């Protein structure tokens, strides 16, 4: 009787734990999306004080120092050799490639136009995930993902006047490298804590970002302002470290394709922040697009 009672009381825990893990993973991935939605407005602020190369290099150095300090304080062992290639992909995609390409794009593009990248990122990440990890989402998942990406793309292009700019090459390049970095980081987050994935990726880039920051600061003018410093601190600590930390933990818990679809809401959040922080304006189509995106997210979450 005691054994039967113990088994009976233990079974709900065993069944509910995966649901609790998925729920927490969804919350973590959503927090990552909120952090990422501030990246473009913060970058625009940072460009008020720093040149594009200085901004990217210094943000990498600051984030690497924080991450390295955490790794040292907790005495985390060096990553296994078999994980170095994956960490290199994360470093090239989300630490170097995406920040550099989007910062160059934002020199001549508005944040609304740059949100096109974020609108296509969930679909691209799902494709990379299927190719890299062997994941095979359902047909309904893909239809909802494509519909959501199309809705966000149409909205963001309309907000920018429908004109293609020279910055598009940077934006679509950033889309590809970021999707690769997200996919590889989500895979690694299943075998090591998510904060260690981005932490080691940042540290691996330090031999490049540190001399690059010194060189860039010596050539590009710096005009410090409250906006510029705040933008730099957010992209370094909020987007580059804390945002990726919770994002990778979320992807490890709920899967890369499902987590990537939460990013369908990111362009709309970016437009809201752009209006509040940069004074940009958008049309009345925003609430309609928001409803369409939420429906697509609901479908992908149930698929």
Dump pLDDT digits (tens) for 213-235: 999 999 999 999 999 999 999 99
Does the pLDDT at position 117 exceed 80? no
Q: What are phi and psi of 224, to 5 degrees?
A: -65, 135
First to last CA, the chain: 41
Residue with the bigger pLDDT between 18 and 134: it is 134
Burial of 59 (0-12, 13-18, 19+ CB in 10 A): buried
DSSP labels, 35-63? HHHTHHHHHHHHTTTS-HHHHHHHHHHHH
CA distances from 60 to 44, 55, 208 (A): 17, 9, 9
Does the pLDDT at position 100 exceed 60? yes
- Kindly report the average pLDDT of the chain as a whole number: 83
Does the pLDDT at position 66 exceed 80? yes
pLDDT of residue 12: 35
Residue 104: how many other CB atoms lie within 10 Å:
20
Pair of tokens at residue 19:
């649901």
Residue 147 sits at the vertex; the CA angle it makes with 263 and 40, to the nearest 5 degrees, is 30
Does the pLDDT at position 113 exceed 60? yes
Give me the count of residues in the chain: 303
**Contact (Cβ atoms closer than 8 angstroms) between residue 288 and residue 268:** no
Which residue shows structure tokens 């362009």? 267
**Contact (Cβ atoms closer than 8 angstroms) between residue 59 and residue 240:** yes
Q: How far apart are CA 201 and CA 84, in angstroms?
A: 9
Q: How far apart are CA 227 and CA 273, in angstroms?
A: 14
Query: By mean pLDDT, which of 85-89, 236-240, 267-271 is the weakest?
Result: 267-271
**Contact (Cβ atoms closer than 8 angstroms) between residue 71 and residue 200:** yes
This prediction's pTM = 0.80
């Amino acid at each position: 009787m005691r054994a039967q009672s113990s088994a009976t009381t233990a079974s709900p825990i065993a069944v509910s734990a995966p649901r609790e893990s998925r729920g927490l993973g969804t919350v973590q991935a959503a927090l990552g999306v909120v952090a990422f939605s501030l990246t473009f407005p913060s970058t625009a602020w940072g460009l008020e004080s720093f040149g594009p190369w200085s901004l990217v290099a210094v943000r990498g150095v600051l984030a690497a120092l924080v991450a390295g300090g955490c790794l040292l304080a907790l005495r985390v062992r060096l990553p296994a050799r078999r994980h170095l290639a994956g960490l290199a992909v994360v470093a090239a995609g989300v630490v170097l490639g995406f920040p550099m390409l989007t910062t160059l794009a934002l020199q001549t593009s508005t944040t609304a136009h740059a949100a096109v990248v974020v609108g296509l990122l969930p679909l691209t990440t799902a494709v990379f995930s299927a190719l890299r990890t062997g994941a095979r989402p359902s047909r309904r998942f893909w239809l909802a993902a494509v519909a959501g990406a199309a809705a966000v793309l149409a909205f963001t292009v309309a907000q920018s006047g429908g004109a293609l700019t020279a910055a598009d090459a940077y934006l679509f390049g950033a889309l590809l490298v970021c999707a690769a970095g997200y996919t590889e980081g989500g895979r690694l987050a299943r075998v090591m804590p998510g904060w260690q994935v981005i932490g080691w990726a940042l540290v691996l880039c330090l031999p490049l970002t540190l001399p690059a920051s010194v060189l860039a600061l010596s050539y590009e003018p710096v005009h410090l302002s409250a906006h510029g410093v705040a933008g730099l601190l957010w992209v370094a600590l909020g987007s580059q470290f804390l945002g990726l930390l919770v994002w990778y933990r979320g992807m490890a818990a709920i899967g890369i394709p499902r987590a990537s679809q939460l990013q369908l809401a990111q362009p709309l959040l970016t437009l809201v922040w752009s209006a509040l922080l940069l004074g940009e304006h958008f049309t009345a189509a925003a609430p309609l697009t928001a409803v369409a995106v939420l429906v697509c997210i609901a479908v992908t979450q149930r698929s």
